[in-house]
A = this chain, B = another copy of it.
Amino acid sequence: VARTASNATWGADGQARTLDDLAALCGVSRATVSRVINGGPVAETTRRDVMAVLERTGFRPNAAARTLASGRSGVVGVVMHVDPHLLFQDQYFSQLLQGIADHLAGEGAGMMLWLGNRTKAEILDHVLGMSFLDGVIVSAHALVDPIVDGLLSSNVPTVLVGHRRADLSASYVDIDNEQAADLVTTHLISLGRTRIGHITGSRGTVHAEDRVTGYQRAMRRAGLDADGLVADGDFNVQSGFTAAATLLDRSVEAIFCANDASASGALEAIRTRGLRVPEDVALAGFDDLELAARLDPPLTTVRQGVRQQGIEAARALLQLLQDPERSPRRVLLPTELVVRQSSVGGVPRG
């Protein structure tokens, strides 16, 4: 490579590799070329000339140098630290990821991704090590999570998907899990069932705990007893099957599952006992992923726009980056009860 005083270099093919190369090629200063690239004030004729050379050489600015000089990389981190078995078993995280990726790509932002294949401490360290990141989106589902804590106490702009009580001053996108769970439970109660069980999600996650709380609230309000009618699951199909068996032993007439996947497991368990849905046992899930409508019978559930949550999280982060002085963004997305045949499809009981 040849090198001049102002660090211009040419590759073997004669292509321009640095701003100085183009400056020399165009007979202008490096600053002018930089202005053409970044949309600064440049005479129209000059711009035209430089653009031509730019096209011809296929020049690409060095991203690292650009980041170092400007302090921005155009790249955000996305952290979804989830048990691998849970990660893509249903479409929850896929949809979340797609929503985020869609919006970021649409805005021209890049995305670094961390999935749950290391310890939380390692991931936090790695993410913070990527100091060029403009910001981070992190799934905040666990009640105690060093990654979330670490990011929030760092100076990296951060948006949570989900939130804990302690995260009230952070930026986040979430739904009102408690309210939604109350709604489904109340729906099941309105069918005339009294022994209504609940299959929880993974204990220790915000989603699971809030949905339990919502379920209990609805039961209490209706004067119904929820004791012994809560069986722990972990958002998984298999756990739904197992937990449902427990509840069926206690002769429940309805089951509200913390998500659609566990509801599909519960459905299987009910069938296995020779019971009918919804005649003998009414069933409801949570999420309204594709799966729900395809079950037989189609599943009553709570629709939460998971993909939309991803989009909103990305949007919130980019807004935060654009205007760092702005106060935290907090987005609470609406949910909707979707009534299908798993709760009201059969012949009414009473």
- List residues of A whose CB falls within 8 A of some B CB: 60-65, 67-68, 73, 75, 84, 87-88, 91, 94-95, 97-98, 101-102, 105-106, 108, 110-115, 117-118, 123, 126, 128-132
Interfacial chain B residues near A131, Cβ < 8 Å: 60-64
- A179 → B minimal CB distance (Å): 28
Q: Which of B61, B106, B115, B129 contacts A63 (CB 8 A)?
A: B129
Q: A40 vs B95: C-alpha distance in the bound complex, in angstroms?
A: 45
User: Do B112 and A75 touch across chains, with their CB atoms under 8 A apart?
Assistant: yes
- A261 → B minimal CB distance (Å): 12
Q: A328 vs B129: C-alpha distance in the bound complex, in angstroms?
A: 31
Q: A108 vs B117: C-alpha distance in the bound complex, in angstroms?
A: 11
Q: Which of B63, B101, B114 contacts A130 (CB 8 A)?
A: B63
User: Do A112 and B114 touch across chains, with their CB atoms under 8 A apart?
Assistant: no
Chain B residue nearest in CB terms to A128:
B60
Interfacial chain B residues near A91, Cβ < 8 Å: 88
Q: A211 vs B213: C-alpha distance in the bound complex, in angstroms?
A: 52
- With A105-B118, A106-B117, A117-B101 known to touch, is A63 a contact of B132 (CB < 8 Å)? yes
Q: A112 vs B101: C-alpha distance in the bound complex, in angstroms?
A: 11
User: Do A110 and B126 touch across chains, with their CB atoms under 8 A apart?
Assistant: yes
Sampled A-B contacts (6; CB under 8 Å):
A60-B129, A64-B67, A88-B91, A101-B115, A102-B117, A106-B117
- Copies in the assembly, this chain: 2
Chain B residue nearest in CB terms to A71:
B64
Interfacial chain B residues near A111, Cβ < 8 Å: 112-114
User: Do A68 and B60 touch across chains, with their CB atoms under 8 A apart?
Assistant: no
- With A112-B75, A117-B102, A130-B63 known to touch, is A88 a contact of B94 (CB < 8 Å)? yes
- A283 → B minimal CB distance (Å): 20
User: Do A112 and B115 touch across chains, with their CB atoms under 8 A apart?
Assistant: no
- A190 → B minimal CB distance (Å): 34
Given contacts A75-B130, A111-B113, 16 further A-B contacts (CB under 8 A): A62-B68, A64-B64, A64-B131, A84-B98, A87-B94, A88-B94, A94-B94, A97-B115, A98-B115, A101-B114, A105-B115, A105-B123, A108-B126, A110-B112, A111-B112, A111-B114
Interfacial chain B residues near A112, Cβ < 8 Å: 75, 110-113
Q: A112 vs B118: C-alpha distance in the bound complex, in angstroms?
A: 17
The listed residue with most B CB atoms (<10 A of its CB), out of A60, A64, A97, A130, is A64
- A175 → B minimal CB distance (Å): 21
Q: A98 vs B118: C-alpha distance in the bound complex, in angstroms?
A: 12
Interfacial chain B residues near A123, Cβ < 8 Å: 105
Q: A75 vs B129: C-alpha distance in the bound complex, in angstroms?
A: 12
Q: A131 vs B61: C-alpha distance in the bound complex, in angstroms?
A: 8
Interfacial chain B residues near A115, Cβ < 8 Å: 97-98, 101, 105
- With A64-B67, A131-B62 known to touch, is A113 a contact of B113 (CB < 8 Å)? yes
